[in-house]
Amino acid sequence: MALRLATAVRNAMADAVTTRVDAGAGAGTIKIYTGSQPATANDAETGTLLATFTLSDPSYGAASSGVITLAGTPKTVAAAATGTAGWFRVEDSTGANVYDGAVGTSGAELNLNTTALNSGVNVTITSGTFTMPAS
């Protein structure tokens, strides 16, 4: 038999992620990097830092069916470097890692208007979600 979580538990766990992102005195951030995502969210960042977005505070809306949705999108910043976006990391305001994931233009955990970033040119987060698995 498979381990399964009740929706209320999934929601509580997803909301706990929001609490971690919003920890500290200021808003959390999302950082976009080139290359491959590290093996775990505890590992050091790899690749070139392309862009840093400051999140709303609170960073996500309340969980529904185990999903939290990034608040305040779209979010736009000027890219800090040129390269192809490969992955993202979410940090609290103190720089502590919370989670990381896949970046794309559609169907990813974090969607951008483009994955081809150019230094000084605006890039936009069009949507972002975090899903707590049911099983």
Structure confidence by residue, pLDDT tens digits, 95-135: 999 999 999 999 999 999 999 999 999 999 999 999 999 88
d(CA 82, CA 44) in angstroms, rounded, equals 21
pLDDT tens digits, 24-54: 899 999 999 999 999 999 999 999 999 999 9
d(CA 133, CA 76) in angstroms, rounded, equals 29
pTM metric for this prediction: 0.95
Nearest to 41, CA basis, from 82, 93, 85, 102: 102
Is the pLDDT at 2 greater than 90, yes or no?
Answer: no
For the chain, the domains span 7-37+45-131
- What is the per-residue pLDDT for 1? 74
Q: What pLDDT band is residue 81 in, cutting at 50, 70 and 90?
A: very high
Average pLDDT score, the chain:
96
Q: What pLDDT band is residue 4 in, cutting at 50, 70 and 90?
A: very high
- What is the per-residue pLDDT for 82? 98
- What is the per-residue pLDDT for 124? 98
